[in-house]
Every structure is written in structure tokens, then in C-alpha cells.
Amino acid sequence: MVPTAPDRSPSGPDRPVVVLVDAYTSGKYLPPEFAALGADLVHVQSTPEFMPSMPAPDLSPYRAALVHQDVDRTVAQLAACRPVAVLAGQEPGVDLADVLAERLGVPANGTALSAARRDKYVMIETLRAAGLRCADQARSGDVDRLVAWARARGSWPVVVKPLRSAAGDSVFVCRDTAEVRQAAEAVLAGETIYQESNHEALVQSYLHGTEYVVDMVSRDGRRHLCGVWEYQKRLLPSGRNIYDRERLLAHDEGPAPALAAYVSAALDALGVRHGPTHAEVIMTPEGPALVEVGTRIAGNMHPGFHDACAGGNQATLTALAYLDPETFHARHADRSYRRRAHAVCCTTPTTQEGLVEAVDEAAVAAIRALPTVHGLNLKLGPGQYLRPTVDLYTSTLRVFLLSEDPGALARDLERLGELKDQVYRLRDRQESLL
């Protein structure tokens, strides 16, 4: 175990140690919350090199960091720190975090249902066995079998996607057998955003209805509902259904209570007793049906923004649930957020392509100056290549907006649409027909 930075606070046997596995993207918000409750942090990297599809984690908040090679060795290294918690910082760390937590004897969701929490086919079949509403589906590494399933089902569209990816990676909405074949071939020929080969592809019935996000934090099987967000997506001619924006519902608005109850039942079926979860659910005419759930914090998590619009955030509540479960149970378990302001998280798409030469600071300043903009994350910098948006990772900006006035949000979202493609100055700019 190699220290990555000088200790920034006293450490010793009386300070609890928390292990984060693969703290990419929004996982960066977890270390300060655990540190604020008096914990030291250790980072575990599940792969030999950092994953190029995501910015590398900042290791400066950690007492130490290690690169996982062998479970027995990693367990021995971590046991010397006597950790009180092990959890995934983001999706690629879920499997390893389950193993390490179980082996180290800290609060864990266990490994018996780990596959059901990562493999989308196993996930949905686990819900079906529990009597929960879910999509029809088939999986195979044989394109002809996937096409035959879709043809025999005879109801269109269907969805083709990888078994173990995320962020909308290689998810296709297919309207006929030719499109199923094309999508399945593309999935099987590629890798996930986590550099895993797709040996099989998944084909599912299309769930008609509005899609929602349901974020929770659990401790000992008791949960706090952190937010219910309504998705707005954009279907491209290619069949890709890309993220656009999500709007925070009031805790008792429309389908929110039914969605929360369904997700809690799904988490029970999947063996989730501890930690944060990020679920995507379609409210079909027959009721909620799960798209997928990740046992990690939401990708759009931003502590200050969520505190302002929902009165709390997953990162703070996750740290509390692991380090002070009594307080979590007393103040937060079996309760839900209360919306304090109308809020939208927008992930801006683009049809442009080219090498980023510079960031136009005037355009960034113009976006930040919009009255409802609370925060802005740039997803690219000089020297990086901008590609047309086909999933969450190829969106260009993440912008957080909130206001007591929904009309003000609508006006600023319209202006954001005018400014978004001015942020990056591109060399050899091209326009895609996606």
C-alpha cells in the first residue's frame, strides 16, 4: 500500500477507515463527507490502469491507495487498516467492493446476489422471481438467436444493450429485425465503457411510459428516499436514446410514492441492505418496471445542488449511514426528501465533432450568469476530442439549475441550448447527422 499524499489530518487507531473502490466521477463527493465525520480514506483501484472512459480519481484525499491484483492480497492489505466500511465509488467497483466488504466482515450486501446487481439480465430475472413487474427479455452471444426472439415476440420496438455497462452505452431502440441484427452485432463487437468485452447482448421488450430516477441510501435494509427525478431523453435516428435533462419531483407528486415503493421492493429482492443506490424506472400503464439499478451514488450527484433543492444529498447520507447508523436510523430512515426548489440537471448533447483547442471562457461565463444556474461541470478540455453525443459520457456539459419559478428554469434552459455549442473551440469542426 503506497501513500499517495501526506496526511492532511491526524490519523491513528481511533480514526475509522473507509475504503472506496473506483471513486470515479461523482464518487469524488464521498471522501469529504466521510472525512467530515472523522474517517480516514483508502482508495482501491480495481484495474491495473485507470479507466480511460472517465477522468481519473483525485487521490489526494486518501491516506493510501492500492491497485488491486489478487483478492487475498488486497484483503490482507486492507485488513491491516481495520476498515469499518467498504463501498463502490462508482459502477465498475461494485463487484470488488462486495467481495472485499464480505471478506473483511464490515456491513455488506454480500456476494450471493452480486451478479444480480451488475448483470442486467440476472437483475431482471431476479425481480421476476420475486413477483415484480419487469421487461420480457433474452440474452445470447448469437445474433440470430436475438433476432429470432424479437421476431417471435412480434411487438415493436425492442431494446438491445450490453449486460454490464452504464450511462446509456450502446443502448439501441430497434423497430424491426434488421435493426435488432445491426444493434446486436454492434454490441457484440464492442466493449463496455469499462473495457469489458461483450460476450453476450441483451434484448428486451420496450417499456412504454415515462422514465424516472429514484435515488436512495440504505442501512440495515431501512432506506431514505433522496430524490425522484423525471427523465427527458432524445431518441436519435440511429436508435440511440440519449440523456437530455432530469427534473426533480416533489416527494408526493404524481408517481413518486409508487416509484419509491417499487424500488424499495426491488432492492429487497436484489439483497441491497447497505449504501447508496441509483435506480432507473419506467412508469408503464400497468405500473413501475425497472430499467436497471446501480449500487452506488447517482452520476448527477452534486452535494450543494441537492442540498439546495432537496434538503440533503446521497454523499452526506451515505457517510452518515456507514459511520453513524444510529443517527441515520433516528433522523433519516423510512423518510424522504422534501423539494425546496424546482430543479433540473441538464446534460447537453452535441452533433459537433473535432479536437478541442480551447474553452471559450466568455461562453462559460454567460452560462454561469444565467439566473437559475447553480453549477456547471465542463466534460472536456483542450487536447481532448469532442464526439457527437450517443450516451451520457459523450455529452458536453452537466448544468445544474434551480429556482422557485419553473418559468425562469424554462427560459434559462432555452438560452443554454443556444450557448452550449459555443463552449468548446474546435479544430476541423464537423457536424454529424446523428
pLDDT higher than threshold 90 for residue 191:
no
Partners of 248 in the beta sheet?
A: 229
Name the pLDDT band for 2 (thresholds 50, 70, 90): very low
For residues 336 and 307, give the distance between their C-alpha atoms in angstroms, rounded to a whole number.
13
The number of C-alpha atoms within 13 Å of 195 and in the hemisphere containing its C-beta is 9
The kind and range of the H/E element at 402 are strand 397-403
Please name each of the domains of the chain with its CATH number: 17-104 (3.40.50.20), 136-205 (3.30.1490.20), 208-340 (3.30.470.20), 344-431 (3.90.1170.30)
HEC profile of 294-323: ECCCCCCCCHHHHHHHHCCCHHHHHHHHHH
**Among 237-251, 258-272, 341-355, which stretch is predicted with the lowest mean pLDDT?**
237-251
- Give the type of residue at 60: S
Nearest residue to 342 via CA among 225, 216, 250: 250
Name the pLDDT band for 196 (thresholds 50, 70, 90): confident
Q: What are the tens digits of pLDDT across the range 141-189? A: 999 999 999 999 989 999 999 998 776 677 899 999 999 999 999 999 9
Residue 286 buriedness (CB in 10 A; 0-12 / 13-18 / 19+): exposed
- Pairwise pLDDT comparison (191 vs 57), residue with the higher score: 57
pLDDT above 90: percentage of residues in the chain: 82
Q: Where are the beta strands (DSSP E) in 144-200?
A: 158-162, 172-174
pLDDT higher than threshold 90 for residue 430:
no
Confirm if 58 and 28 have CB atoms less than 8 A apart. Answer: yes
Name the pLDDT band for 27 (thresholds 50, 70, 90): very high
Total residues found in the chain within this entry: 434
Confirm if 88 and 117 have CB atoms less than 8 A apart. Answer: no
Confirm if 19 and 85 have CB atoms less than 8 A apart. Answer: yes
Confirm if 226 and 215 have CB atoms less than 8 A apart. Answer: yes
Q: How far is CA 60 from CA 29, 31, 63, 314, in A?
A: 13, 10, 8, 22
| CA of residue 1 relative to chain centroid, distance | 28
CB atoms within 10 A of CB 268: 15
- 288 prior amide bond cis, ω within 30: no
Nearest residue to 106 via CA among 74, 82, 125: 82
pLDDT higher than threshold 70 for residue 194:
yes
| Cell numbers standing for residue 414 | 432555452
Q: What are the tens digits of pLDDT across the range 313-359? A: 999 999 999 999 999 999 999 999 999 999 999 999 898 999 999 99
| Cell numbers standing for residue 72 | 487475498
Partners of 399 in the beta sheet?
A: 346, 376
Phi, psi of 28 (to 5 degrees): -65, -20
For residues 385 and 402, give the distance between their C-alpha atoms in angstroms, rounded to a whole number.
30
The dihedral through the CA atoms of 22, 26, 28, 33 has a sign that is negative
The number of C-alpha atoms within 13 Å of 306 and in the hemisphere containing its C-beta is 24
The number of helix segments (H) and strand segments (E) in the chain equals: 12, 20
For residues 203 and 160, give the distance between their C-alpha atoms in angstroms, rounded to a whole number.
4
Q: What are the tens digits of pLDDT across the range 65-113? A: 999 999 999 999 999 999 999 999 999 999 999 999 999 999 999 999 9
| Cell numbers standing for residue 276 | 447508496
For residues 46 and 57, give the distance between their C-alpha atoms in angstroms, rounded to a whole number.
12
